[in-house]
Amino acid sequence: PCDTMKVGGNLDSKGYGIATPKGSSLRNAVNLAVLKLNEQGLLDKLK
């Protein structure tokens, strides 16, 4: 189970988040994939 919660409003307009376990070997791959999707404009299309 996850013990996190959102408190209050957003501080800025960034609305994406992908969590990985601490020390996960997937972290860099996920970060690079999200950056690539953003550069290609695909994240804007998903809004």
For residue range 20-45, list pLDDT tens digits in order.
Answer: 898 999 999 999 998 999 899 998 88
Distances (CA, A) of 36 to 8, 25, 26, 43, 46: 30, 18, 15, 9, 14
The pTM of the full predicted model, rounded to 2 decimals, is 0.56
The pLDDT assigned to 17 comes to: 78
The pLDDT assigned to 9 comes to: 78
The pLDDT assigned to 36 comes to: 94
- CA angle 19–22–27, rounded 5-degree value: 55
Maximum distance among all Cα pairs of the chain, rounded to whole angstroms: 34
Which is higher by pLDDT, 46 or 16? 46
Residue 11, pLDDT > 90, answer no
Which is higher by pLDDT, 9 or 15? 9
